[in-house]
Copies of this chain bind each other. A is one copy, B any other.
Amino acid sequence: MPTPDHRLLNGIPVKTRIIDEVRDYTDRQDTMPRLVSILIGDVPEAAVYVRNQARSAKAAGLPFEQENWPGDITQETCKARLLEMNDDPTVLGIILQRPVPEHINVRSLQSAIHPLKDVEGMNPASIGNIVYSDVALAPCTAAASVELIKQTGLNMEGLEVVMIGHSEIVGKPAAMMLMAEGCTVTVCHHMTRSVPMHSRRADVVVVAVGKAHLVGPDMIKPGAAVIDIGINQIETEDGPKIVGDVDTDAVLDVAGWITPVPGGVGPVTVAILMRNAIVAHQRQIAAGWL
């Protein structure tokens, strides 16, 4: 058996730990309301995500229901159905799978999901609460990157973090969450004059851009941690392959820690979704909903 590479920051044990914590909670409940996953139209690329979520929910002791809504459903009908679920005490949380058909305004639908049922942390009100350092229902991928940085054991206070990518669902909320942990955060993006000038001084580089091999070893300070959120399909001699935004093999020679793709941020993201579900449960109880 080959020695494991300790520079690889594996997401699987982190996922297992979180799922076990959720299971401990659900085991102590008489009954748990269900998570509802919604697919609108025919979205084969979402199938693997849904399958993973269903599997993790089962392991965590959370009922999980998959709804498929027709591709020609109207925005109004979607919204009405979501509002019904907000009022339904048997629905614990709502997961709106993306992408949605072109005629659907996804952000408006996300806003229609009540913050207490917004287990994906996508409602603008949920994200506003992150600014107020109330990170309970945070966007799952952003929270997963924070969890993996903590896993290194680095002291978060004063940690120099450079985030590459300023998307609404990852870069910006992750930056806010890292600030709340005491990190000094710089957010770089496609208009930044020199991304390497920033990334080379960082203790931790978080990359969420969606470009294969964007980050090479010349951009990383020796010993730094690299969190790779990208998921890109590339063609190789052996057929298609999933890679992140980091040239993992080359950066391994420089970095202190690096999350592999697949097997790094991805598994932890699903686990955070389950953790959000029990936080939602506790909040709904506190609010007198359950």
Q: Are B193 and A184 in contact (CB under 8 A)?
A: yes
Residues of B within 8 A of A160 (CB): 193
Residues of B within 8 A of A192 (CB): 158, 184
The answer for the CA separation of A129 and B157 in the assembled complex, in Å, is 28
The answer for the CA separation of A183 and B189 in the assembled complex, in Å, is 9
Q: Are B172 and A179 in contact (CB under 8 A)?
A: yes
The answer for the CA separation of A289 and B164 in the assembled complex, in Å, is 41
Confirm or deny: A173 has a beta carbon within 8 angstroms of a beta carbon on chain B.
yes
Out of B126, B130, B183, B187, name the residue touching A184 (CB < 8 Å). B187
Q: How many copies of this chain? A: 2
The answer for the CA separation of A175 and B163 in the assembled complex, in Å, is 13
Q: Are B184 and A186 in contact (CB under 8 A)?
A: yes
With A131-B168, A186-B185 known to touch, is A158 a contact of B123 (CB < 8 Å)? no
Q: Are B124 and A107 in contact (CB under 8 A)?
A: no
CB A118 to nearest CB in B, in angstroms, measures 11
The answer for the CA separation of A125 and B127 in the assembled complex, in Å, is 8
CB A176 to nearest CB in B, in angstroms, measures 6
Confirm or deny: A89 has a beta carbon within 8 angstroms of a beta carbon on chain B.
no
The answer for the CA separation of A186 and B124 in the assembled complex, in Å, is 23
The answer for the CA separation of A189 and B186 in the assembled complex, in Å, is 12
Residues of B within 8 A of A157 (CB): 191
Confirm or deny: A133 has a beta carbon within 8 angstroms of a beta carbon on chain B.
yes
Residues of B within 8 A of A41 (CB): none
The answer for the CA separation of A193 and B125 in the assembled complex, in Å, is 32
Q: Closest residue to A127 on the B side, CB-wise?
A: B128
Confirm or deny: A188 has a beta carbon within 8 angstroms of a beta carbon on chain B.
yes
Confirm or deny: A166 has a beta carbon within 8 angstroms of a beta carbon on chain B.
yes
Greatest chain B CB density within 10 A among A125, A126, A193 is at: A125
Chain A positions 132 through 172: 1 when the CB is less than 8 Å from some CB of chain B, otherwise 0:
11000000000000000000000001101000001010001
Confirm or deny: A182 has a beta carbon within 8 angstroms of a beta carbon on chain B.
yes
Could you jot down 11 A-B contacts, CB within 8 Å? A123-B128, A124-B128, A126-B128, A127-B131, A131-B168, A160-B193, A179-B187, A179-B189, A183-B191, A184-B198, A186-B187
